[in-house]
Amino acid sequence: MMNNTRRGVLAAVAAGSLVFTAAACGGDEAPAAAPSAGGSAAPAEKIEITLNTFGGGENFAYDDAVAQWNAANPNVQVKYVNLTDRFEDTYLPQVLQWLEAGSGAGDIIAMDEGAMGLMAARPQYFADLGQYGLDSRKADFPAFKYDVGVNTEGKLFALGTDIGGMAMCYRTDLFEKAGLPTNRDEVSKLWPTWNDYLEVGKQFKGKVKDAGFVDGANTVYNSVLAQEAGKNGGLYYFDKSQALVVDKNPGVKAAFDYVQSLSSAGLTAKLRSWSEEWNTAMQKGGFATMGCPSWMLGVISGTSGEGNAKKWDVAAVPGGSGNWGGSWLMVPSQSKHPKEAADVLNFLTGKDGQVAAFKEGGNFPSSVPAQQDPTVAEAKNPYFNDAPSGPIFAASVAQLAPVFFGEKHAQVKAAVEEVLVGADQGSVKWDEAWTRFVEEGVKAAG
C-alpha cells in the first residue's frame, strides 16, 4: 500500500538470513498461496480467484469488499491472502520469483507505487486489462493514477486502489507558542506557495528554538518533486525511453534546491523518516510540520499516542497538490482465469470496493466516484481536531499531472534521498551534495 518508504524497523533484519541461500530458491515455495490448482474437485463453473496483497494492520482493508463480492458471485469466489507486512524486502522479491517461475502468484496481485515502473517494463508477465474492457474505467481515475497502470507496450495492466495525496500536518501547540494561527483554514492561507512556507518557518524558528519547523528532508522533497515533475513533462528520474535524467530534469534540481534552502536556514529537525528519533520527536513535539499523505495520519496518531490527540491538525500543502504512495492491482498472465480475475479487479478498484476499503481501513480512494461518495467526501478525523480529511486529500490529488516511473525509479529515489538526508544531517556538505546526488543516481540506475 504505502510501504515504499516505510521500512518496518524490525523488518529488514530477517532478510539477512536469506542472503546466502536465496539465490538457490526455486519458484515453488509457499504453495499455500498457489492459485486454484487443487480446485479440480469443484463443479466445473466454480472458480477461485486468489488476491495477494501486502501491508501491516488493515493492509488493503478488502475484507468487507471481498465478502460483498463472494456473496453476490457464488461461482467466482475470491480468496484474500495478505502475504506479509513487508513490501520491499519480502513481497516484491517473492512476486518477482513467482513471475519468473511462471506459477505461484495470485490471480490478482497488489503492487506499491515504488515498483510500478519495474512492472510496467515487464509487459510479458501481465494480462492486458484492455482486453477485458477495463480501459473504459479511464474516466474514473485522475490521469496520473491511470497512466501509471499503462505499460511500456502501451497496454493497461493495472488499476489504482488507494492513493496518498498530500496535506500538511502541523502541531497546534507549537504554532501557538510561535504566535502563529492554529485554525486550519488560516494556516492553509499562510503558505499558498513553498516560498511562503519557508518564510513561515523562519518566523517560527525566531520564536521556538527547541523544535524544528519541519521533520527532515524526505517528505518536503517528495511533495515539491511531485509538483515539479508535473511541470516537467511528468518526469522524475527517467524519461519515457528509460534514460536517466536525474541531472537534466529541472524539477529534480528545483526540489533539491528547495530542501537545501530549508535545511540551510536551520528549519529542519534533521530527522530521517521512519527512524526511532523521528518517532520520538513526533511524540515529544520535536517538529511542528510534516508533509502528510492520507496514510500518514494513521502513522501520526499511532506513533504520537492518545496523549497527543488534538495537538495535531491538517492543513493544505503549499502548492496545493502532491502525492506520496498508493497502490495498484494487476492480473499476472500466469493466471488460469484472467477474465474472472479482471472482473474481480474491476470491482475492487471500483467505487464500491474502494469505499468499502475506506470504511474498513481508511485507505483513501483513487477512484474519483469513490472520492465523491459521501462516506469519503464528508469524512472527518477525530484525532486531528475533526479535520475534514476527505475533502483535503481529494483536493490535493485533483490537480496532479500525470507522472512516469522508470524501471529503476525505486532504486534511484532511495539513493538520491539518502544524499539529501546526509546533507541535512551534516555527513555530506551542501556544496558537494548536488554532485554526489547525481553520482548516486547514476550508480543506482546501473
Partner 1 sequence: MSLSVDAGSRTRTVPPGPRRHARPPGGRRLLSWLDLRAAPYFFVSPYFILFAIFGIFPLIFTAWVSLHDWQLAGDKTFIGMENYTELLADDKFWNAVLNTVGIFVIATVPQLLLALLLANALNKKLRGRLVLRLSILAPLITSVVAVAVVFTQLYGRDYGLINWVLGGLGIEPIHWQNAKWSSWVAIATMVDWRWTGYNAIIYLAAMQTIPKDLYEAAAIDGASPRRQFWGITVPLLKPTIIFTVIVSTIGGFTLFAEPVMFGAGLMTGGTTGQFQTVAMFIVKEGFRDFQYGYAAAAAWILFLLIMITALINFAIVRGLGRSR
User: Which residues of the shown chain bind partner 1 in the complex (CB under 8 A)?
Assistant: 7-13, 15-16, 18-24, 88-89, 93, 96-97, 99-100, 122, 125, 269, 272, 274-277, 280-281, 284, 286, 408, 411, 414, 418-419, 421-422, 425-428, 443-444, 446
Tell whether the torsion through CA atoms of 426, 432, 433 and 439 is positive or negative: negative
Q: Select 225 or 419, whichever has its Cβ closest to partner 1.
A: 419
Give least dist CB 421 to partner 1, A.
5
Neighbours of 356 (CB within 10 A): 25
Q: What CA–CA distance (Å, rounded) separates 91 from 119?
A: 14
Give least dist CB 409 to partner 1, A.
12
Q: Select 14 or 42, whichever has its Cβ closest to partner 1.
A: 14
Q: Select 188 or 304, whichever has its Cβ closest to partner 1.
A: 304
Cell 463443479 locates to 43
Q: Select 2 or 397, whichever has its Cβ closest to partner 1.
A: 2
- Residue 154 phi/psi, 5-degree rounding, is 80, 15
Q: Select 17 or 40, whichever has its Cβ closest to partner 1.
A: 17
Q: Which has the closest alpha carbon to 393: 113, 164, 191, 74?
A: 164
Residue 167 pairs with which residues in a beta bridge? 292, 316
Give least dist CB 230 to partner 1, A.
27
Q: What CA–CA distance (Å, rounded) separates 55 from 98?
A: 19
Q: Select 106 or 165, whichever has its Cβ closest to partner 1.
A: 106
Give least dist CB 18 to partner 1, A.
8
Determine the 3-state secondary structure of 165 from DSSP: coil
Give least dist CB 8 to partner 1, A.
7
Find the length of the chain. Answer: 446
Q: What CA–CA distance (Å, rounded) separates 88 from 148?
A: 19
Give least dist CB 213 to partner 1, A.
15
> How far lies 382's CA from each of 128, 242, 304, 311, 312, in Å?
42, 44, 14, 11, 10
Q: Are 137 and 267 in contact (CB under 8 A)?
A: no
